[in-house]
C-alpha cells in the first residue's frame, strides 16, 4: 500500500478526526519508522512544517531529546505493538522543551501494518502539578513553623512541660511505628505530642510548679488545659487531627477521663496513643511534687488500665517497645 493509499484509507471516515484532533497524531511506516502523515495540531505544537515531517524517521526531525532512547523504543514498538510514555520530553523547532504523553500502537490496514503515535501536550498540567507541590511544601513548612513557635512559647514559661512534651513525642512515634501506622500518621502524632500541653500556658505557674500535691480546685484548674489547648489550635489548618488529639488525650476508654468523659471509639487513635505515652513519661520522670517512680512503675500502671482506661493495642505496643525493643528516653532522670 502506498502513502497515498494509506491517506485515502484514513479519509474514510477518519480524515476529519485526524485533521481536527486536539492531540498530535503521526502515522509511521511500520518497517522503516518513516513519517507518512502528521496532523495540524502536532505541526503547531512542535513548529515544524509538514514537509519537514514527511519521509523522515521520527528521531531525525530533532523533536526527540534522546535519539538513542527513541530508536530503542521503536524496536520495542515493532516487537510488542504498543508503547507508552506518561511523561516524555520533546524539543520544539524553537528549542523549547515540552512534556508530552506519548502512546504508539501498531495496527493493520488492508493487510499492511502502520504505526499511529498519539501525542498529548501535558506541559501546562506538569507546571500546575509543580506549583501545587511547591504550595504543599510551603504549607507543611508553615505548619512546622507554627508548632515550633508554640513550643518556644511553652519553654519560655515552663521548661519542665517543654521537656515532657519532647519525651512524650519520642514515645508516641515509637508506639505508632510498632502499631504499623503510616509515616504520615506518625508525623501528625509527633507534632500533636510536641504541643499537647500548650493549654498549660493558661495555668498559673504556682500550680504547675507546686512542690506538693494539688488541692481539688487546683486540679480542676489544671484539667482545663486540654480545652484551652484545643481552643488555641482548632482554627489552624493542620493536615492532621492535632487539635482533636490534644483535646482528647486525657480521655479514657471507660469514660473516666476529661474534659468530655468520652468512651471507647469516640476517642481518636492518636489521642489513645498520646494518653499512654503521656502517663508513662509522667510516672517515670520527676514531677515538681515527687521524684521519678521509674519505668517499671509506669508500665505497671498502664497494664492495670489496659482495656479499661487505655486501649489494649496501644498498651501492648508500648510494652513491647520497652521490654522487647529496649526503648529509652533521650533524657533520663
Alpha-carbon gap, residue 222 to 136, rounded angstroms: 37
Burial class (CB in 10 A: 0-12, 13-18, 19+), 59: middle
Cα–chain center distance at 64: 34
Q: How far is CA 228 from CA 5, 19, 86, 244, in A?
A: 80, 66, 50, 12
Q: Which of 37, 64, 62 is closest to 51 using CA atoms?
A: 37
Dihedral (CA of 66, 72, 78, 83) sign? negative
**From CA 127, how far away is CA 34, in angstroms rounded?**
32
Rounded Cα distance, 229 and 197, in Å: 7
- Asked whether 61 and 71 are in contact (CB, 8 A), the reply is no
Q: Of the residues 141, 200, 263, 326, which is catalytic?
A: 200
Concerning whether 200 is annotated as a catalytic residue, the answer is yes
CB 43 within 8 A of CB 53: yes
Inter-axis angle of helices 183-194 and 123-157, nearest 10? 30
> Residue 210: CB partners within 8 Å, gap ≥ 6?
218, 288, 289
The whole-angstrom separation of Cα 150 and Cα 222 is 19
| Residue 300 vs residues 17, 216, 316, 318, 327: alpha-carbon distances, Å | 75, 26, 12, 11, 16
How far apart (Å, rounded) are the C-alpha atoms in residues 21 and 60?
24
Q: Annotated catalytic sites, by residue?
A: 200
Amino acid at each position: 500500500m502506498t502513502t497515498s493509499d494509506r491517506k485515502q484509507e484514513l479519509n474514510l471516515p477518519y480524515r476529519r478526526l485526524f485533521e481536527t484532533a486536539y492531540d498530535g497524531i503521526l502515522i509511521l511506516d511500520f518497517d522503516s519508522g518513516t513519517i507518512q502523515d502528521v496532523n495540524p495540531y502536532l505541526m503547531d505544537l512542535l513548529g515544524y512544517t509538514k514537509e519537514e515531517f514527511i519521509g523522515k524517521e521520527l528521531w531525525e526531525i530533532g523533536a526527540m531529546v534522546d535519539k538513542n532512547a527513541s530508536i530503542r523504543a521503536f524496536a520495542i514498538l515493532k516487537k510488542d505493538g504498543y508503547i507508552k510514555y506518561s511523561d516524555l520530553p520533546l524539543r520544539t523547532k524553537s528549542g523549547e522543551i515540552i512534556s508530552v504523553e506519548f502512546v504508539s500502537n501498531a495496527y493493520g490496514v488492508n493487510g499492511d501494518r502502520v504505526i499511529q503515535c498519539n501525542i498529548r501536550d501535558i506541559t501546562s498540567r506538569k507546571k500546575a502539578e509543580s506549583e501545587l507541590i511547591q504550595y504543599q511544601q510551603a504549607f507543611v513548612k508553615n505548619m512546622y513553623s507554627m508548632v515550633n513557635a508554640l513550643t518556644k512559647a511553652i519553654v519560655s514559661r515552663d521548661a519542665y512541660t517543654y521537656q515532657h512534651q519532647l519525651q512524650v513525642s519520642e514515645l508516641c512515634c515509637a508506639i505508632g511505628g510498632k502499631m504499623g501506622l503510616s509515616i504520615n500518621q506518625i508525623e501528625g502524632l509527633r507534632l500533636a505530642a510536641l504541643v499537647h500541653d500548650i493549654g498549660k500556658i493558661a495555668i498559673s505557674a504556682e500550680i504547675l510548679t507546686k512542690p506538693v500535691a494539688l488541692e481539688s480546685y487546683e486540679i480542676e484548674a489544671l484539667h482545663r488545659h486540654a480545652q484551652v489547648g484545643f481552643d488555641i489550635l482548632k482554627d489552624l489548618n493542620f493536615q492532621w487531627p492535632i487539635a482533636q488529639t490534644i483535646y482528647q488525650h486525657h480521655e479514657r476508654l471507660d469514660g473516666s477521663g476529661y474534659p468530655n468523659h468520652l468512651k471507647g471509639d469516640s476517642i481518636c487513635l492518636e489521642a489513645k496513643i498520646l494518653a499512654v505515652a503521656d502517663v508513662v513519661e509522667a510516672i517515670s520522670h520527676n514531677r515538681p511534687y515527687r521524684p521519678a517512680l521509674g519505668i517499671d512503675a509506669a508500665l505497671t500502671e498502664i497494664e492495670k488500665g489496659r482495656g479499661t482506661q487505655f486501649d489494649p493495642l496501644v498498651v501492648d505496643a508500648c510494652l513491647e517497645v520497652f521490654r522487647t525493643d529496649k526503648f529509652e528516653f533521650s533524657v533520663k532522670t
